[in-house]
Structure 1
Amino acid sequence: MDNKTIPLSVPNLSLDILENIKETIETGWVSTGGRFIQEFETKMARYVGVEKAIACQSGTAGLHLALRVLGVGNGDEVIVPTLTFIAAVNPVRYSGAEPVFMDCDSDLNMDMEKLEEFLENECHYIDGKVINKKSKKVIKAIIVVHVFGNPVNMEKLIEIKEKYNLMVIEDATEALGSYYLKGKYAGRHCGTIGDIGVYSFNANKILTTGGGGMVVSHNNELLDKVAFLSVQAKTDPLYFIHDEVGYNYRMTNIQAAFGTDQIDRLETFIETKINNYNLYKKVIADINGLSLLSFRNDTRANHWFYSVVVDKEKYGMDRDELLLMLNENKVQTRPLWGLIHKQKPYIENQAYRIEKAGFYEKNLINVPCSSNLTSNQVGIVLEKLNCNLNKVFS
């Protein structure tokens, strides 16, 4: 990408990290051992308010490990959103289970009313197990995604979880730094309320280690199992005894060296994202045919991605025309993900009353939102969105 292009979401890195990287090279600890892994785990646990956290190779690996330690396996089903990145769903298949797709609400998160309706009308609850009437399979768990950092209605979800004896995995890969301000979970971070939570540190995330992920839980036995499985399930590491099938899912020390620096700057990143979101919001409110999706006002969302909905009749061009125009003008934007229940690997899977997600798939774009995005760059994006504005910022 050339220097004149305003990117969608790129890492915010500092040369201060070089001392950490230098240490990994000088000591030789560049792989899956070394002090930075434990330091990063400790800092993450402290930041999100749990006793311990387990670093892993990616958010996807973390979700796979979560499903494994919760006992999801062959013949089971897991309820998932259709509106999310496909990496949230693929681990269900890795586990030998099948996904059942749910619609989104106006926050882009899983629709809790439809979820409850599905469990009540389309399932039997027998001897503490949820049986899907259509497939006759046991539904073991729900994976919810805090889409674009906007927190899910966890109060309602936990009510449903307890009513139907289901396990909840929080995909908080986009929501590090998002937490609740009101209600039962006031002060609790996304990822720390369900049975297990998973974070991602991919290059476009609010905090990056180049790759990598983190698994958290208030159940330390589950986390011990995650750690065990992530390093090839070594029952006796000295004599290479393995009583279970494990995975090469551990984070590297050189990745963690990035993370220990990045997490110290996380609140600054979030502050910038919120400020830039508010700049967008002020101007887009006056652009006929465009609307900027809001974040829940009973939460402190990390504002990871900004979503603009396009009304063709009022704006004069549709979402795809706007997408093409912006990218041609060196403003990197992207459409929403293709809905997963329509993707080839999952087209035969059950999808329950998918309605609202299709609207957002057709009409939503994401605009630049990096944590090092300047107000001048926001102004340039806004000028492209509204050609009638001569100058957004002085």
Structure 2
Amino acid sequence: MDAVDAALGSMQRPIELHEPRFSDRERELVLDCIDTNWVSSAGKYVTRFEEMVAAATGSRHAVAIVNGTAALHAALVLEGVEANDEVLLPSITFVATANAVSHAGAVPHFVDSTWDTLGLDPQALEAHLDAVAVRRNSAWVNKRTGRRLRAVVPVHIFGHPVDMTALGAVAARYDLVIVEDATESLGSTLNGKGCGTFGHSAVLSFNGNKIVTTGGGGMIVTDDEAHARHARHFTSTAKKTHAWAFEHDEVAYNYRLPNINAALGCAQMERLDGILAAKRVLAERYLAAFRDLPWARIYREPKGAESNYWLNTLVLDREYASERDRLLEALHGHGIRARPLWVPMHLLPMYRDCPRAALSVAEDMNTRCINLPSSPFLAEAVQGTKKS
């Protein structure tokens, strides 16, 4: 507890896990939407927000979506995932990743994670595919189920980039489409390249607890102009452009982000550099506070990465794993809204029967990791406390 207090200072309790902060600028842009009646999925802020996110990630195109789950669903369908396909993904992720696969009519296929990145382990994936994948009729299939292996969805857990070079090699060998789940990693880079730019397409989230928020929102990013154009059409009910006629040319979805939400995002994106800088200050405070503890450590960004440290993560030594829930209870009693990892997907009732690899690392992570309060304004508040 003393180490957490050292990192956070004498802030008023409770301290939530990750909170947004809004300024007069957000109010100004939202009121502009209301005053001009441009509050739905058309409007200047949607386009502006897309351009700002594309620039921030290093992508050529961005398509604003109503939330991250819808964006993942649409991205998978647009990449050719079909009913009864299998999509490989880590068991350690938020449930939206697996749900999006299910919404596409496909089957989640869970693979293990690595302590190197907290995300999907390319070596474990390759070893698993070597054991279960077989080539049939020009497609790779799971020889145990007979289903096509279509895609892999790496998730940059808590903003820490997956080893995308190694993953790309495995995906190429098995003809797997990569759809990056970059929902937690806006602003994170690997060897100078932005998360969300390693696959053909990627998805970001702007939920209320993310680095930048639109209240609820998501984004599909890609360098492929034709793919972006189709994504925009597909998520706008596939309505053909016409002055008055309602003509649609495919079964599609009404998934576009409203202008009023995009206005929030534009104002937030204007402060992105400052938010990321504050997040790193807070991460360094946590790293320093826990540096000499014999029973736990703060997870540090992977080699070659510059993480956004979306959620700072305390990793208990294995012999203290049984103390996780007692520590969480103590933190909450102290007004610190820490949390454990998400329940691994393969342990949830609706996904227990899905295909999976050995998941020893994922199950180990589940018992040993705790997310600590990580709002960017915490760094500013602590600095202010120190000055006073």
The interval holding the TM-score normalised by the smaller chain is over 0.9
Distance apart, 1:393 and its partner CA:
10
Out of 367, 375, 382, the position equivalent to 2:372 is 367
Q: Look up the match of 2:276.
A: 270
Query: Which letter does structure 2 place at the counterpart of 1:295?
Result: E
Distance apart, 1:288 and its partner CA:
2.3
Report Cα offsets for 1:181-230 as digits up to 9, x if no partner: 2xxxxx32111110111000000000011110111111122111111111
Which of 1 and 2 has higher RCO (CA within 8 Å, sep 6+)? Answer: 2
Q: Distance in 1 between matches of 2:318 and 2:99?
A: 34
After TM superposition, the score normalised by the length of structure 2 is 0.92
Out of 16, 21, 24, the position equivalent to 2:30 is 21
Number of equivalent positions: 376
Distance apart, 1:143 and its partner CA:
0.7
Distance apart, 1:344 and its partner CA:
0.8
Q: Distance in 1 between matches of 2:319 and 2:181?
A: 36
**Where do residues 28-43 of structure 1 align in structure 2 (5 Å cutoff)?**
28-43=37-52
Q: Distance in 1 between matches of 2:44 and 2:384?
A: 43
Further displaced range: 8-17 or 229-238: 229-238
**Where do residues 1-394 of structure 1 align in structure 2 (5 Å cutoff)?**
4-106=13-115, 107-181=117-191, 187-235=192-240, 237=242, 238-311=244-317, 313=319, 318-374=323-379
Distance apart, 1:3 and its partner CA:
5.8
- Aligned CA RMSD, in angstroms, stands at 2.1
Contact 2:344 2:362 in 1 (8 A): yes
Further displaced range: 167-176 or 37-46: 37-46
Aligned-partner SS, 1:227: helix
Report Cα offsets for 1:1-40 as digits up to 9, x if no partner: x963111100022222222112101100011111000011
Report Cα offsets for 1:346-368 as digits up to 9, x if no partner: 11101100101111111211001
Contact 1:124 1:132 in 2 (8 A): yes
Give 5+ residue unaligned stretches, structure 1: 182-186, 381-391
Distance apart, 1:74 and its partner CA:
1.1
Query: Which letter does structure 1 place at the counterpart of 2:144?
Result: K
Contact 2:57 2:194 in 1 (8 A): yes
Distance apart, 1:51 and its partner CA:
1.8
Q: Distance in 1 between matches of 2:138 and 2:334?
A: 56
Q: Distance in 2 between matches of 1:379 and 1:293?
A: 25
Report Cα offsets for 1:24-64 as digits up to 9, x if no partner: 01100011111000011111112212222100101111111
After TM superposition, the score normalised by the length of structure 1 is 0.91
Change (3 A) 1:157 1:56: same
Contact 1:77 1:98 in 2 (8 A): yes
Aligned-partner SS, 1:145: coil
Q: Distance in 1 between matches of 2:193 and 2:229?
A: 22
Give 5+ residue unaligned stretches, structure 2: 1-10
Change (3 A) 1:236 1:30: closer
